[in-house]
Amino acid sequence: MNDTVNLLGLDADGLARLCADWGQKPFRARQLMRWIHQRGEHDFAAMTDLAKDFRAILAQRASVSAPPVLADPASADGTRKWLLDVGGGNAVETVFIPEADRGTLCVSTQAGCAVNCLFCSTGKQGFARNLQAHEIVAQLWHANRALGGGDPALRARGERPVSNVVFMGMGEPLQNYAATLAALRIMLDDDAYGLSRRRVTVSTSGVVPMIDRLREDCPVALAVSLHAPDDALRDELVPINRKYPLAELMAACRRYLERAPRDFVTFEYVMLDGVNDSDRHAQRLVDLVRDVPCKFNLIPFNPFAGSGLRRSPAERVRQFAQRLAQAGIVTTTRRTRGDDIDAACGQLAGEVRDRTRLSERVARAPRALAGAGAEAR
């Protein structure tokens, strides 16, 4: 089976080209897409409206296969996490967060992460490899099946267990751009999952050139991991800022909004005690985003071993949020979900071989960071 093609990673154009190569008419691609993504089917023999000779070709040359599930813990609050084996000694994590009005799936795009944000346990492990498009889509395909999304009665009522997808799992999506773009196109396709562009969010640490490319290729909702109001502090918290400083990032956000499905950018801001949570930091944020339509999502830090960082007290977070709100910025504080199964923001670690020795460098960083935070206060 090593020479078979995994159909989970092919968008409509890719499936159409494959069908043409195998002597099939273009409409077969749409049939395949509906069987695979809407019904969650992986057995070609069960795809009864396909011609028998075509099903024989598919059985010989293609597959629909997701990474094996290594673990499937469920949280007391209903959050569910899947640990998926992507080979080479690496595993990635996918999290489903149920709410009254939506079901949100958080997908990973890389095994590990090279960005190395100091407050994120994924970055602490280093970077192994990019996921392929079929490995990204497989997370939604598997979750949809596991949650009953292939039920014809559910589809007939227009209901779906996963209504929103956020590219906020392990990895930096825009550093795996080709696979991320292919996955987005499949998720948005009406013959696949039919998700709205407003309900699919790509989160980035600030890869400016790729924000501009996403704007042109497939604009969806955009979230930016900000976490600091000035370059000096952000250089330490989010090292990619040294390459793409805040002035360039804010300009890219303004350009993106010209084509975005939403009229604002979401800025994510993890609250770190004594580091980035003072009133002075809040005022600097107000000044920074004054001409960028936005909302802020304040994230309580989720501690992990060796981080050397602490969560801001609840009252400090409340006061920080109040200062932003008083300046006219829509501000919410994220409710921690799934922390009892290590599925909360910043806790996704999977099992990644640290091939870049990042864990050693991260362990040394908090000592220098403490000084930067004290100076800002």
Query: Which tokens in the block code for residue 1?
Result: 């089976």
What would the 3-class secondary structure string for the chain be?
Answer: CCCCEEHHHCCHHHHHHHHHHCCCCCHHHHHHHHHHHHCCCCCHHHCCCCCHHHHHHHHHHEECCCCCEEECCECCCCCEEEEEEEECCEEEEEEEEEECCEEEEECCCEEECCCCCCCCHHHHCCEEEECCHHHHHHHHHHHHHHCCCCCHHHHHCCCCCCCEEEECCCCCHHHCHHHHHHHHHHHHCCCCCCCCHHHEEEEECCCHHHHHHHHHHCCCEEEEECCCCCHHHHHHHCHHHHCCCHHHHHHHHHHHCCCCCCCCEEEEEEEECCCCCCHHHHHHHHHHCCCCCEEEEEEECCCCCCCCCCECCHHHHHHHHHHHHHCCCEEEECCCCCHHHCCCCCCCCCECCCCCCHHHHHHHHHHHHHHHHHHHC
- Confidence (pLDDT) at 375: 45
- Confidence (pLDDT) at 262: 97
Task: Give the C-alpha separation, 104 to 199, whole Å.
Answer: 9
Q: What is the pTM of this model?
A: 0.88
Give ∠ CA 316-322-328 in degrees, rounded to 5: 150
Burial of residue 128 (number of CB atoms within 10 Å: 0-12, 13-18, 19+): buried
The pLDDT tens digits for 96-106 are 999 989 999 99
Is 345 among the residues known to form the active site?
yes
- In this prediction, the residues of the chain whose per-residue pLDDT falls under 50 are 1, 338, 341, 343-348, 354-368, 370-377
Between the alpha carbon of residue 37 and those of residues 10, 30, 141, 187, 249, the distances in Å are: 11, 11, 6, 9, 35
Task: Please say whether the beta carbons of 223 and 359 come within 8 A.
Answer: no
- Confidence (pLDDT) at 36: 98
Task: Give the C-alpha separation, 190 to 208, whole Å.
Answer: 30
Burial of residue 60 (number of CB atoms within 10 Å: 0-12, 13-18, 19+): exposed
**Of the listed 93, 172, 236, 268, which one is catalytic?**
93
Task: Give the C-alpha separation, 176 to 193, whole Å.
Answer: 22
Q: Which residues contact 247 (CB under 8 A, 6 or more apart)?
A: none
Domains of the chain: 5-63 (1.10.150.530), 69-376 (3.20.20.70)
Amino acid identity of residue 130, one-letter, is N
Measured between its terminal Cα atoms, the distance across the chain in Å is 60
Is 93 among the residues known to form the active site?
yes
The pLDDT tens digits for 270-283 are 999 999 999 999 99
Phi then psi for residue 295, to 5 deg, are -130, 155
Burial of residue 260 (number of CB atoms within 10 Å: 0-12, 13-18, 19+): buried
- Confidence (pLDDT) at 302: 86
Query: Which tokens in the block code for residue 196?
Result: 């709205």
Task: Give the C-alpha separation, 225 to 270, whole Å.
Answer: 8
- Return the number of other C-beta atoms located less than 10 Å from residue 168's C-beta: 23
- Confidence (pLDDT) at 362: 41
In the sheet that holds 221-225, the strands lie side by side as: 69-71, 80-87, 90-99, 102-106, 164-167, 200-204, 221-225, 265-271, 294-300, 330-333
Query: Which tokens in the block code for residue 159?
Result: 């209901």
- Confidence (pLDDT) at 56: 96
**Of the listed 19, 117, 120, 345, which one is catalytic?**
345
Task: Give the C-alpha separation, 5 to 185, whole Å.
Answer: 18
High-pLDDT (> 70) share of the chain, %? 86
